[in-house]
Amino acid sequence: MLYLQTFIDALMIGGVYSVIAVGLSLIFGVMRVINWSHGESLMVSMLIALYMNQYTPLDPYVIMLIVGAVMFVYGYVLQSVVISRILSRETDREPISCLLFTAGLGMVMSYSVQIIFGSKQVMAQTKYNGRALHMGDLVVSLPKLIAFIIAVVAVAALWTFLQKSEYGRAIRATSQNRSVATLMGISEKRVYSVSFAIGTMLVGLAGGMLIPYFSVYPTVGSVFSNKSFIIVVLGGKGSVPGALLGGLIVGLIEKFGALFFSESVAQIIVFLMFIAILLFKPTGLLSKDKG
């Protein structure tokens, strides 16, 4: 029973990791930009959700959708106004200046929040806090179950969009070869803006769904962003199903590692796996990228 419970817990937390990582993966896959402000975007999303929860009567999951929309607009504007200008000067396949820019942006976001809101560590009070489904001896955390379902639906919807829609094909074409895609009449800048916006929207959704069980504070993003980078490398940079698989694998390693050893040892195992992937399968499990 303990193993089954651990398996369920692993799936739940793995789903959360996936939805946070998939946005990062998409942005990298299409634009080759490593968004170092990903964790801080999550933190800002959580903060917006926290205040909306405090000052409006809306359900946290309705708030989550609003935050997702807000972050979509944020991502679109950020890419089309700022990042596109930096990117247009880059000739490298993986632009270093964008990496530096997003790292700087992340620091600005984190310290600005600290200065404006202080270092409080607060969790939203919602009707979902501390609630769980009890099935015999098995327990499933309600906010995490909802988060898992949202994660799977979001990843599936994104995958379908990328595979089946006209615009999704345009995004994939641009990710494969931006010069050829431009020659085919695809607006590279618009594709990048939409991709970046989808990436930040997913982080917005993740931020909204985290608030019923996770505290908000200026550096909360680092709790998840480090794992997101591992998941993206594990699943394959740019692979949407890879991000889902990577998240679930990290969840399983963490939970079973903690069961057999300890939480601290489990984290070591996760990082050892990260090193092993970089050494033996640098393209990740599901990426078609040849590296």
> What residue ranges bind other proteins (CB under 8 A)?
2, 5-6, 9, 12-13, 16-17, 82, 85-86, 88-89, 97, 100-101, 103-105, 107-108, 110-112, 114-115, 118-123, 125, 129-132, 134, 139, 141-142, 213-215, 217-220, 222-224, 227, 254-255, 258-259, 262-264, 267
Q: Give the contacts of 145 (CB within 8 A, at least 6 positions apart).
A: 12, 133
Taking the complex as a whole, how short is the minimal distance between the CB of residue 100 and other proteins, in angstroms? 6
Taking the complex as a whole, how short is the minimal distance between the CB of residue 66 and other proteins, in angstroms? 22
Residue closer to other proteins by CB (options 9, 186) is 9
User: How many whole angstroms separate alpha carbon 289 and alpha carbon 291?
Assistant: 5
Residues 130-146 as b or e (16 or more Cβ within 10 Å = b)? eeeeeeeeeebbbbbbb
Taking the complex as a whole, how short is the minimal distance between the CB of residue 86 and other proteins, in angstroms? 6
Residue closer to other proteins by CB (options 175, 200) is 200
Q: Give the contacts of 254 (CB within 8 A, at least 6 positions apart).
A: 10, 13, 263, 266, 267, 270
Q: Which of 236, 227, 220 is nearest to 284 (CA)?
A: 236
Residue closer to other proteins by CB (options 15, 284) is 15
Residue with tokens 């959700």: 49
User: How many whole angstroms separate alpha carbon 221 and alpha carbon 152?
Assistant: 21
Task: Give me the residues paired with residue 132 across strands.
Answer: 141
Taking the complex as a whole, how short is the minimal distance between the CB of residue 79 and other proteins, in angstroms? 14
Token digits for 132? 């769980």
Q: 1-5 long-range contacts, Cβ below 8 Å, gap at least 24?
A: 1/137, 1/138, 2/259, 3/259, 4/138, 5/137, 5/138, 5/139
Residue closer to other proteins by CB (options 5, 283) is 5
User: How far from the centroid of its chain's Cα atoms is residue 256's Cα?
Assistant: 23
DSSP strand E in 39-178: where? 132-135, 138-141
Taking the complex as a whole, how short is the minimal distance between the CB of residue 167 and other proteins, in angstroms? 28
Taking the complex as a whole, how short is the minimal distance between the CB of residue 175 and other proteins, in angstroms? 24
Taking the complex as a whole, how short is the minimal distance between the CB of residue 45 and other proteins, in angstroms? 16
Residue closer to other proteins by CB (options 16, 170) is 16
Taking the complex as a whole, how short is the minimal distance between the CB of residue 7 and other proteins, in angstroms? 11
Task: Give me the residues paired with residue 216 across strands.
Answer: 122
Residue closer to other proteins by CB (options 139, 278) is 139
Residue closer to other proteins by CB (options 218, 236) is 218
User: How many whole angstroms separate alpha carbon 119 and alpha carbon 187?
Assistant: 42
Residue closer to other proteins by CB (options 50, 158) is 50
